Structure 1
Amino acid sequence: MPEVAMLYYEYQYNPKVKITGDQVVEVRVEDCMIKAVKLIRKKMQQEICSRGLAIETNPSSNYLIGTFRRYDRHPIVNWYNYGLTCNQEEVENCPQLQVSINTDDQGVFTTYIENEYAYLALALEKYKDENGKYRYNKTMILQWLDNIRKMGINQSFR
């Protein structure tokens, strides 16, 4: 397609396009819009859960092309936290979606499945709350990851 070829050429060889592409543009979003998006997200998660759908996560890929810069902030913790925390309110407020940890294109992201689990485990183990206390227990992190591993196996054989 000529349009794609032109865009590729412009991005690779036109310095003005590269400069423009590197610029960060901030847009102020009204609080009511943020609230609306959160409500929609919660409704979508309920729908995903009710249908028994599974969410595949690729932590390294998500980190490199996503909006979070720390593995302990990966959204998987907000989708499934059963066993990761003893706080009953946090467990009840989490949708407890079926999730799995996977790798994305190994050639691009140079990672292995073992790394994906290790990155999350290490990040959660080192994560401290606002008071400087460790947020998660190592044994609970490992059990949580094992639960996710089992979910992944079950998802692949459905």
Structure 2
Amino acid sequence: MVANLNHLSLVKDYDLVGTAFNAMFDKLASCLNANKSRYSFIKPNRPSTSISKVVFKNITTEHNLYQNGQKGMKVVVSFDIEGYKKQKCEVNAYFFYEDGKALKDINHSYRAADGQVSAGTYITPGWDTTTYTNLEIFIPYRELHLSYGKSNLKTYVEIFTPQKKNP
């Protein structure tokens, strides 16, 4: 099984109000699609629960790795986070088919509350402005629940504080 991922590294300032935020990213997504960019943008089907300020610098993937005896891949994220010194935050990667349809979890592992395939980790920033370089999120290939063969996927990375997480 081969999972090719397209990903997007964007500056996201969540201090923006909802409609301005959505309009800005809708416009960006249409520009990327019109220009046939190698990057893809996925806007989740749920309201943003992300923290107030984060700047994503880079999102990459590493394939065919082993962790705890399981073959899989890592989503590697570099970002700056501001205003959450010593507060526990969660960094999650969500996975989608190329057409934007979310991968659904079927065994209640590696899943978001809505049943979508996801993997994540917790961070606790040590300073008012903290830089994370190469934060790794591992997911076993079998937890993507794909059929055999090649699959082109997309990923979306989101950061939020657990107290702001949707139930």
Q: Larger radius of gyration, structure 1 or 2?
A: 1
The structure richer in helix per residue is: 1
Which of the five TM-score ranges fits, normalised by the shorter chain?
under 0.3
Higher relative contact order (CA 8 A, sep 6+): 2
TM-score normalised to the size of structure 2?
0.24
